[in-house]
Amino acid sequence: MSAIENKLVGPVSEELALVQAAKRGDDSAFEELVRRYDRNVFRIAQHITQNREDAEDVVQEAFLKAYGNLAQFQEQSKFYTWLVRIAVNEALMKLRRRRPERTVSLDEEIKTEDDSLPREIADWSPNPEQQYNQSELREILSKTIQGLPPGFRTVFVLRDVEGLSTEETAAALELSVPAVKSRLLRARLQLRERLGRYFQKRDSEDGNKRESGDGNQ
Amino acid sequence: MKCSDFLQELTNYLDGVLDETTKTELENHLSWCHNCYVVCDTTKKTIQIYRDSLPYELPDDLRTRLRSAIMSKCQQQKKRGPQSV
């Protein structure tokens, strides 16, 4: 059996059938692919760009590029991984245009100092997210993830939020598997440390009171 | 296992891809090292909180609008011929 004859089951084989139909010019098949992945692409784009209008543009541009280049898609990887790669590149381009003064790259050098070693090791309250209402929590999560360098943020979003495997994340970002793992560890630890400012167990904690003046809201 | 070794293995541990021997060593370390236990536990919570939050949902009306814009641009592109990435 050749390596290409992978057993495709369920959604993957369905996806491949849609891609093949779209390649033959069936636009309704392509529309089905849009329907299947537009939410994911939007989430990824918004996480990277942190801007809703940019995320909308990225969704359009990514699908349009996928449509225009479908013939080049080799079918050896999943269509979704290929689409994510296009979307991430579009989103990073938006970010570069918006913040030309800052380098935006997935290959940025990791700081040489050992910044992955946790500095603060304080335990969190049980169910810390329940200390805040939905919009407060959303604000905290968004502010916290914005503080990560784009290269770390993107790896975290693809791997931990969107649930791509390490290998798929590596393929989508054109990084090696060890590079993905290293960025993922740092992203997770940095987010943990930053969230700790909001979720830490207080000295005076009695389970329902928060100290005033901490965490702003 | 030292704390720095634990940190090296943390991502593999959380992703459930550690071999049995390393996993046992790591869990043994966690049983007596409170700091590493806290780091492991709160990192796990960090991932869970982000995974559950789904902060950027695409509203239905915007979704429909985007999809029809995409499809109409695709039609235009088809008429113009292929483009490069």
Tens-place pLDDT, residues A169-201: 999 999 999 999 999 999 999 999 999 888 887
Shortest Cα–Cα distance, B9 to chain A (Å): 9
Please give the average per-residue pLDDT across A109-128, as a whole number. Answer: 64
How far apart are alpha carbons A42 and B54 in whole angstroms? 11
CB contact under 8 A, B43 and A188: yes
- Distance of alpha carbon A56 from alpha carbon B40, whole angstroms: 36
Domain identity same for A30 and A72? yes
The answer to whether B41 and A34 have CB atoms below 8 angstroms apart is no
User: By three-state DSSP, how is residue A124 classified?
Assistant: strand
Same structural domain, A64 and A144: no
How many domains, chain A?
Answer: 2
Q: Do A85 and A163 share a domain, yes or no?
A: no
Question: Does residue A150 share a domain with residue A77?
Answer: no
Residues A2-32: tens digit of each pLDDT: 444 444 445 668 889 999 999 999 999 999 9
State mean pLDDT over A58-63. 96
pLDDT digits (tens, 9 = 90+) for B9-64: 999 999 999 999 999 999 999 999 999 999 999 999 999 999 887 667 788 999 99
Q: In B, which residues are within 8 Å of A39 by CB distance?
A: 57-58, 63
State the count of interchain CB pairs (< 8 A) between A and B: 121
- Are A55 and B15 an interchain contact pair (Cβ–Cβ within 8 Å)? no
Does the residue A145 lie in any domain?
Answer: yes
- A73 and A138 together in one domain: no
Inform me whether the pLDDT recorded for A75 exceeds 50: yes
Q: What distance in Å separates the CA atoms of residue A107 and residue A102, rounded to the nearest whole number? A: 14
- For A32, the domain range is 10-98
A111 belongs to a structural domain: no
Q: Is the pLDDT of residue B81 over 90?
A: no
Q: Does A113 map to a domain?
A: no
- CA–CA distance, A202 with A198 (Å, rounded to integer): 10
Which string of b and e fits A129-160 if b means at least 16 CB within 10 Å? bebbeeeebeebbeebbeebbbbbbbbbbbbb
Q: Does the CB of A36 have a partner CB in chain B at under 8 Å?
A: no
Cβ <8 Å between B47 and A60: no
**Cα–Cα nearest to A146, from A72, A46, A1:** A46
Q: What is the pLDDT at residue B59?
A: 87
My answer on whether A132 and A186 are in the same domain is: yes
Quote the percentage of chain A above a pLDDT of 90.
48
At residue A146, the pLDDT reads 87
- Classify residue A122: in a domain, yes or no: no
CATH number, residue A26: 1.10.1740.10
| Nearest CB partner across the interface for A185, out of B11, B56, B77 | B11
